[in-house]
């Protein structure tokens, strides 16, 4: 499309097949012509809102930045749709450099990559920040890290190395304690007492296994089922803080020793069902003017909540501008500040003179 930010795709064929492979947060499409032409590979990153959708070519959805047309009559289009345009694609079959083994498809390699590199400076950071490092946790994102830490009751701002070295010790102790366990018993023990790295594999698998229930392709903005699956992320009653990268981490209990200074933990509130007027009997004129406008705002989706995190610095500046322009309108032109001060001073002087007489 004209507004797509990705490169032009130099591919055209009367008949071709599309196959796909995924690794971590990336998806590779291979366009294979049924004739003599060369194949073309594309590697996608989805950002926050990227997805694929199959629809009639005459009824393209908004933000369909790349379209693959079928030979049917009338034709359909497989579209890469991305409203926020955080997603991207690039030509070629190479995965992005610097990404570690996939938490889903390369679990053993992923686990070894973490435990063999605990002296890396990435693990000097809080565990919530380390979990977003794709060099070691390829596939883990913001909502997954919250769900994983919540299930294990790990404070998000505990030092990553402290958490992961404990796993290494536990793994060695488990082997020494039960050297004769059968494979099935070992697997049962792991399922009953999963560690952090195991949950990095099994929690995303829950989403994939229940994909048809969680995401209705005909209602891509319907997150009701997905929100019901969430136990921590954006859940009312949970606390939140911004990490040093500006991303919001949701958690329960204490944040941990490496929590950012100067921040107070904010709790996610459940929507009010009572009459808001009854909760605020004293209402200023300024507040009463602003309440109806705030009340008309629809509830935020998970994407909008996440976008607030990405837009953190701009949000702060916008709030400052709102404060600067939020003064109520006056029926008469406002007098300059100096003039108002001088008028008050003259009144006080007048009162003083009257008192002395």
The domain spanning residue 255 has which CATH number?
A: 1.10.8.50
Indicate whether 164 and 66 sit together in one domain. no
Indicate whether 180 and 155 sit together in one domain. yes
- Location of structure tokens 């904010």: 266
95 pLDDT above the threshold of 70: yes
Give the domain extent around 23. Answer: 16-91
* CB 96, CB 43: distance < 8 Å: yes
Indicate whether 129 and 158 sit together in one domain. yes
Give the mean pLDDT of the chain.
Answer: 77
Sheet holding 266-267, edge to edge: 248-251, 239-242, 266-267
Task: Please state which of the ranges 120-134, 180-194, 225-239, 275-289 shows the lowest mean pLDDT.
Answer: 275-289
CA 225: distance to chain centroid? 17
Indicate whether 81 and 127 sit together in one domain. no
C-alpha dihedral, 148 to 151 to 153 to 158, nearest 10°: 0
Whether residue 323 lies inside any domain: the answer is no
Give the pLDDT confidence score for residue 193 in this predicted structure: 75
> Which of helix, strand or coil describes residue 29?
strand
* CB 87, CB 80: distance < 8 Å: yes
| In the chain, alpha helices (H) | 107-115, 127-130, 142-152, 160-177, 183-192, 196-209, 211-214, 224-229, 276-279, 285-295, 302-310, 312-325, 337-356
Indicate whether 48 and 133 sit together in one domain. no
Q: Is the dihedral of CA 66, 70, 71, 73 positive or negative?
A: negative
Angle (CA) 97 100 103, round 5°: 135
Whether residue 275 lies inside any domain: the answer is no
Task: Please state which of the ranges 69-78, 208-217, 250-259 shows the lowest mean pLDDT.
Answer: 208-217
Whether residue 228 lies inside any domain: the answer is yes
Contacts of 81 (CB under 8 A, 6+ apart): 50, 51, 52, 53, 61, 62, 63, 64, 65
Indicate whether 252 and 127 sit together in one domain. yes
> Which of residues 280 and 240 earns the better pLDDT score?
240
Indicate whether 260 and 115 sit together in one domain. yes
Whether residue 332 lies inside any domain: the answer is no
Indicate whether 203 and 252 sit together in one domain. yes
Indicate whether 247 and 205 sit together in one domain. yes
Indicate whether 83 and 216 sit together in one domain. no
Name the residue among 171, 165, 203 with its Cα closest to residue 186. Answer: 171
Global pTM? 0.68
Give the end of a domain, one of 209, 242, 268: 268
Whether residue 215 lies inside any domain: the answer is yes
Whether residue 292 lies inside any domain: the answer is no
pLDDT tens digits for range 275-293: 444 343 344 444 444 444 4
Indicate whether 240 and 111 sit together in one domain. yes
Domain count, the chain: 2
Give the end of a domain, one of 227, 248, 268: 268
37 by Cβ neighbours in 10 Å (0-12 / 13-18 / 19+) ranks as middle
* Long-range contact pairs involving 116-120 (C-beta distance under 8 Å, separation at least 24): 118/161, 118/164, 118/165, 118/168
Indicate whether 130 and 193 sit together in one domain. yes
């Amino acid at each position: 499309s004209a507004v797509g930010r990705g490169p032009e795709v130099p591919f055209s064929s009367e008949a071709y097949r599309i196959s796909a492979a995924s690794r971590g947060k990336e998806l590779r499409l291979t366009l294979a012509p049924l004739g003599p032409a060369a194949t073309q590979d594309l590697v996608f990153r989805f950002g926050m809102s990227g997805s694929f959708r199959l629809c009639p070519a005459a009824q393209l959805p908004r933000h369909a930045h790349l379209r693959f047309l079928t030979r049917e009559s009338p034709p359909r289009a497989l579209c890469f749709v991305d409203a926020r345009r955080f997603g991207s694609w690039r030509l070629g079959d190479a995965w992005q450099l610097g990404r570690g083994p996939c938490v889903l498809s390369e679990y053993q390699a992923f686990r070894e990559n973490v435990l063999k590199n605990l002296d890396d400076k990435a693990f000097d950071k809080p565990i919530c920040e380390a979990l977003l490092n794709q060099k070691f946790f390829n596939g883990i994102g913001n909502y997954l890290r919250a769900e994983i830490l919540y299930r294990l009751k790990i404070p998000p701002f505990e030092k990553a190395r402290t958490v992961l070295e404990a796993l290494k010790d536990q793994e060695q102790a488990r082997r020494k304690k039960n050297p004769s366990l059968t494979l099935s018993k070992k697997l049962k023990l792991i399922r009953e007492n999963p560690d952090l790295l195991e949950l990095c594999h099994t929690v995303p698998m829950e989403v994939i296994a229940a994909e048809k229930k969680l995401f209705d392709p005909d209602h891509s903005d319907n997150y009701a089922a997905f929100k019901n699956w969430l136990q921590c992320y954006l859940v009312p009653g949970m606390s939140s803080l911004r990490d040093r990268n500006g991303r919001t981490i949701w958690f329960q209990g204490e944040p941990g020793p490496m929590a950012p200074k100067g921040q107070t933990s904010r709790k996610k509130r459940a929507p009010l069902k009572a009459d808001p007027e009854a909760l605020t009997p004293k209402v200023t004129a300024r507040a009463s003017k602003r309440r109806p406008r705030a009340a008309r705002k629809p509830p935020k989706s998970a994407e909008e909540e996440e976008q607030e995190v990405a837009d953190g610095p701009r949000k702060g500046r916008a709030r400052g501008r709102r404060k600067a322009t939020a003064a109520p309108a006056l029926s008469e032109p406002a007098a300059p500040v100096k003039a108002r001060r001088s008028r008050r001073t003259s009144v006080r002087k007048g009162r003083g003179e009257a008192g002395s007489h």
